[in-house]
Amino acid sequence: MTNFIKLNSIAPALPEDDYFTPEARALCVRTKHKSDLTDDETFMLALAAAQAAVARYFHPGARSAEKALDKIGAILEHEDIVTALRKVTSDQKSKEAFERRLEQKE
């Protein structure tokens, strides 16, 4: 699942760690050995990876907007993100339908 964040890179000595917030690093450490992530963990890791891609782009030095957008697109189109989003969307629609039925009974 977490292909878009290199979990083995959570050592403070690596330069790419500068792009992750302390909260994102903590989440990576907590989920490093988990085989199944919750939807919330999946979304938070995706957001952390996308945020890191943006931060990496704005860091001084050689950079490419096209590469940054490709990276962010790959993160957001990752199979696990799409699956979690479909699940959450489906759950939300079910909840709204249930609430409408309750309102109709009143």
Give residue 29's pLDDT: 84
pLDDT digits (tens, 9 = 90+) for 36-79: 888 888 888 888 888 888 888 887 787 888 988 998 998 888 88
Rounded Cα–Cα distance for residues 45 and 31 (Å): 9
Per DSSP, the residues of 26-69 read HHHHHHTT-SS--HHHHHHHHHHHHHHHHHHHHSSSS--HHHHH
Going from N- to C-terminal start, the domains of the chain cover: 2-105
